[in-house]
Amino acid sequence: MADLEEFRGEIRAWLEANCPPEMRTRPRSEDDACWGGRKWTFSSDAQRQWLEVMAERGWTVPDWPKDYGGGGLSPAESKILREELRAIGARQPLYSFGISMLGPALLKYGTEEQKCRFLPEIARGEIRWCQGYSEPGAGSDLAGLQTKCEDRGDHWLVNGQKVWTSYADQADWIFCLVRTSTESKQGGISFLLFDMDSPGVSTKPILLISGYSPFCETFFDDVKVPKDQVVGEVNRGWDVAKYLLQHEREMISGMGLGGGGSALLGKQLGQIEDPFLRAEVAAFDIDALAFTAMSEHFMDQLKAGEAHPAMPSMMKYSGTELNKRRHELVMAAGGSDTLEWESERTRGGKPAREWLRTKANSIEGGTSEIQLGIVAKHILRLPGA
Amino acid sequence: MTLLTDDQRQLQDMARTFLAEEGTIKKQLRHWRGTGCKDGFGHGLWKQFAELGLTGVVIPEDQGGLGLGATEAALVLKEIGRNLTPSPFLTTAVAAAKALEGTAQGERWFPGILAGETVAALAIDEGKHHAPEAVALEARRQGNGFVLNGAKQFVVHGASADLILVAARTAGGVGEREGLTLFAVERGAHSLEVENVNLADSSKAARLAFNDVAVDADAVVGEVDDGWTPLSRALAAGRAGSAAELVGVAAGASDMTVDYLKARRQFGRLIGEFQVLQHRAAHLHSEVEIARAAAWKAAELLDRDAPQAELMVHVAKAKATRSAQLAVQEGVQMHGGIGMTDEHDIGLYMKREAVLGQLWGDWRYHARQVAELSGY
């Protein structure tokens, strides 16, 4: 314990010296957050510096092994780092699907060569990854995917289409589920990595009800992929996919309340005249603070290896439903002001656009209904679920 | 909620085994309900709590207790909730013990509590809704002591109590925290009328009428006019504790219901195969888990004496109540007709939730406190 307290002291001093003041605030928007990658333009020197100093210490991924660009910290040490970062309000130096989704899957299923090749680039924020899972005909029933991947001897040949690919137009590489066999539904899927600059890859942003385009359609037209870029065994990609989805759900459930933000909605809204709305907001704040306690507990369980494998589904379900509720209340509190779609007053319709954006929370990464089904089957062990 | 320590896990296992064996619905709740006992709980079991050291869970070590905190109390209360065990543990060993902490009255009453011989009750509310500041019961100075006049209700275990902690007004107006004084009134005090009331869940609460009840000056718990200090200690511990008990009630009802979904057949299959019930059960499970985390976090903050503890206790009581309400309502509904019968245990959970939900503030009361504490 004494060692840990010493460690806390060191971290505190280091953060004080190295975390730029501008980075001690939450990102104002998804664009204000640092996503890294070949195409990234830093929005400020502070943003660049914060990523560089944290990556240098391996603290973009504190609990990954040092050999792969991580910090090599024990669960207790990473917890202290998280606490100290939270204490000064420091933002994440890097937002990354590579960290939250692909990395854990590579650590578990990747070959040594794949780990050494891909993980350090992820840790340093040099390569931005996107996820090729859903297809027009395979949403909730993901295993029905049809993107064809043929063995052409010295390479794979990929043809097909993905949809809801987050930030595909800004990503450098994709981790992608493809069909390598039609003999079995789940048993014919492989997990493939390739460069988005490969000939035959194209993307088209999808305009959402929010007016934003965070997702793309992604097309593969005779894309050649080197043979050593399959993760796990050929036709066993579904195992990798499911494992990765758990991590995706953890991430989304964390985002549910703005990533561990325990700021009370009522405080944010200020005095609420309408007693009915005030009551609704207080009821929301109770659920939100209780959920924050659950998230903290879940993180502790996760780090101690005690979390039930289906817990991310529960967290994702509860967190996203709460986030939708939060934005309904923000809209109600703002009244007709919040309906302005393009005005300066609303910074380009921010409240309404964010409200609409949250409606995707309970769809992306597996719908609420899919999550409830997983909880019913794997935690409650209900029959035939 | 951080993870439990090894000691806490041991205590949890001990409480779980003890109450699953001795505190069952059949052995305790149904038994005492059937005998029409005035206490509604068994003194034999209370003695067993004492033999295990549990009645002294929050009493300081140098006064013979275990010197543990809200977290350990919560571990015991969760098992009490799960088994619907009637017992004065929450009022006596948790709430009253915290009120008495560090006071001369503590020296007087702790030995009896530790021995499982003393039952204590809190007399706070005077109306049908919890309002700890709205105390009108008057304590007037007379000679070397005070004379109490007024009425109290929803005094849980009031008729069984050897000690009743009474919130009285010595100064200020109704609705103010200042000017309250907490008195230790002993069983059988002259001119104290006690009406033992049987509640919906077969637990007992009393209505008390004080008609010139005289007490000595040393009956004051803490300081005159500063009753809010011991009272708020008791309320924080009691509310956090009732949240934990509600989590136990919710978990017990929820588990019973999930088991039923796996056993009951209709339309040629188990009803747990129907997706409409699966999703409701999964939602319920999530809500119970979240309530548990909230209750444990509140206890942990109380134990650390953290500034956010007050807010989180309100959150925990409200969330635990809401989740338990969901659990008992879904529980009865999913059990169908059998759930409406007295023979089946699921309805007992519904009745217990109703009482615990009201005790020391219903969820709306706590929601209001969350809004006020947060300045909106």
Final residue in a domain of this structure, among B185, B207, B226: B226
- In B, minimum Cα distance to A292 occurs at B294
B355 lies in some domain = yes
Q: Is the predicted pLDDT of residue B2 greater than 80, yes or no?
A: no
Residues in chain A: 385
List pLDDT tens digits, range A234-267. 999 999 999 998 877 777 665 545 444 457 999 9
Final residue in a domain of this structure, among B207, B226, B245: B226
Q: A271 vs B376: CB contact, 8 Å cut-off?
A: yes
Q: Which residues of A touch B258 (CB under 8 A)?
A: 380, 382
List pLDDT tens digits, range B117-176. 999 999 999 999 999 999 999 999 999 999 999 999 999 999 999 999 999 999 999 999
Closest CA to B63 of B18, B97, B23, B86: B97
As a whole number, the mean pLDDT across chain B is: 97
Q: B279 vs A369: CB contact, 8 Å cut-off?
A: yes
The Cα–Cα gap between B159 and B164 comes to 9
Q: Based on the number of CB atoms within 10 Å of its own CB, is A19 exposed (0-12), middle (13-18) or buried (19 or more)? A: buried
Give me the percent of chain A exceeding a pLDDT of 90: 82
Using alpha carbons, list the distances in angstroms from residue A186 to A130, A238, A241, A380, B360: 22, 6, 10, 24, 54
Q: Per-residue confidence at A305, pLDDT binned at 50, 70, 90?
A: confident
State how many domains chain B has.
Answer: 3
Q: Are both B363 and B265 inside the same structural domain?
A: yes
Q: Are both B266 and B368 inside the same structural domain?
A: yes
* Structure tokens given for B186: 């002993």
Q: Are both B20 and B155 inside the same structural domain?
A: no
DSSP, residue by residue, B81-137:
HHHT---SIIIIIIIIHHHHTTSHHHHHHHHHHHTT---EEEE---SSS--TT----
* Cβ burial A174-210 (10 Å sphere, 16+ → b, else e): bbbbbbbeeeeeeebbbbbbbbbebeebebebeeeeb
Q: Are both B109 and B132 inside the same structural domain?
A: no
Of B192 and A268, the structure prediction assigns the larger pLDDT to B192
B126 neighbors B154 (Cβ within 8 angstroms): no
Q: E strand or H helix at B312, and its extent? A: helix B309-335
DSSP state for residue B62 in the 8-state scheme: G
Q: Which residues of B touch A (CB under 8 A)?
A: 1-3, 258, 261-262, 269-270, 272-273, 275, 277-279, 281-283, 285-286, 289-291, 293-294, 296-297, 311-312, 314-316, 318-319, 322, 363-364, 366-368, 370-371, 374-376
B135 lies in some domain = yes
| Axis crossing angle, helix A75-87 with helix A275-303, rounded to the nearest 10 | 150
- What local confidence, expressed as pLDDT, does residue B1 receive? 53
pTM of the model: 0.90
Mean pLDDT for the stretch of residues A163-181: 96
Q: Tell me the CATH number at B210.
A: 2.40.110.10
Q: B367 vs A382: CB contact, 8 Å cut-off?
A: no
Residue that has been written with the tokens 């000056």 in this structure = B217
Q: Which residues of A are catalytic?
A: 248
- What local confidence, expressed as pLDDT, does residue A4 receive? 87
- In B, minimum Cα distance to A281 occurs at B371
Q: Domain A129-235 is of which CATH architecture?
A: Beta Barrel (2.40)
- In A, minimum Cα distance to B294 occurs at A290
Q: Are both B158 and B194 inside the same structural domain?
A: yes
B331 lies in some domain = yes
Q: Which residues of B touch A270 (CB under 8 A)?
A: 376
Q: Per-residue confidence at B25, pLDDT binned at 50, 70, 90?
A: very high
The Cα–Cα gap between A305 and A302 comes to 5
Q: Are both B138 and B173 inside the same structural domain?
A: yes
List pLDDT tens digits, range B276-319. 999 999 999 999 999 999 999 999 999 999 999 999 999 999 99
Chosen for mutation from A82, A264, A289 (greatest number of chain B CBs closer than 10 Å) is: A289
- What local confidence, expressed as pLDDT, does residue A1 receive? 58
The maximal CA–CA distance of chain B, rounded, in angstroms, is: 78
Final residue in a domain of this structure, among B226, B260, B278: B226
DSSP 3-state of A251: helix
Q: E strand or H helix at A16, and its extent? A: helix A2-18
- What local confidence, expressed as pLDDT, does residue A51 receive? 97
Mean pLDDT for the stretch of residues B249-272: 97
B83 lies in some domain = yes
Q: Are both B80 and B156 inside the same structural domain?
A: no
Q: Per-residue confidence at A385, pLDDT binned at 50, 70, 90?
A: low
ipTM of the complex: 0.95
Q: B279 vs A372: CB contact, 8 Å cut-off?
A: yes
Distance of CA A340 to the CA centre of its chain: 30
Distance of CA B20 to the CA centre of its chain: 19
- What local confidence, expressed as pLDDT, does residue A30 receive? 67
Q: A372 vs B283: CB contact, 8 Å cut-off?
A: yes
Q: Write down the CATH number for the domain with range A256-379.
A: 1.20.140
**Residue A137 backbone zone (phi > 0: left; psi -120 to 50: alpha; other: beta):** alpha
In CATH terms, A2-95 corresponds, of 1.10.150, 2.60.40, 1.10.860, 1.10.540, to 1.10.540
Q: Is the predicted pLDDT of residue A356 greater than 80, yes or no?
A: yes
Q: Are both B252 and B369 inside the same structural domain?
A: yes
B97 lies in some domain = yes
Of A272, A371, A382, the CB nearest to B376: A272
- CA A362 to chain B, closest CA, distance in angstroms equals 14
Q: Are both B362 and B233 inside the same structural domain?
A: yes
DSSP state for residue B274 in the 8-state scheme: -
| Axis crossing angle, helix A311-334 with helix B275-303, rounded to the nearest 10 | 80
Q: E strand or H helix at A223, and its extent? A: strand A215-226
Q: Are both B20 and B56 inside the same structural domain?
A: yes
Q: Are both B208 and B234 inside the same structural domain?
A: no
- What local confidence, expressed as pLDDT, does residue B310 receive? 97
Q: E strand or H helix at B74, and its extent? A: helix B70-83
- What local confidence, expressed as pLDDT, does residue A248 receive? 79
List pLDDT tens digits, range B231-251. 999 999 999 999 999 999 999
Q: Are both B108 and B30 inside the same structural domain?
A: yes
Domain range for B55: 6-118
B1 lies in some domain = no
Of A270, A304, A381, the CB nearest to B3: A304
A178 neighbors A212 (Cβ within 8 angstroms): no
Q: Please state the domain extents for chain A.
A: 2-95, 129-235, 256-379
Chosen for mutation from A372, A378, A379 (greatest number of chain B CBs closer than 10 Å) is: A372
B310 neighbors B236 (Cβ within 8 angstroms): yes
Q: Tell me the CATH number at B296.
A: 1.20.140.10
The Cα–Cα gap between B208 and B129 comes to 16
Q: Which residues of A touch B376 (CB under 8 A)?
A: 264, 266-267, 269-272, 278, 281-282
List pLDDT tens digits, range B141-157. 999 999 999 999 999 99
Of A210 and A385, the structure prediction assigns the larger pLDDT to A210
Q: A375 vs B286: CB contact, 8 Å cut-off?
A: yes
The Cα–Cα gap between A113 and A226 comes to 14
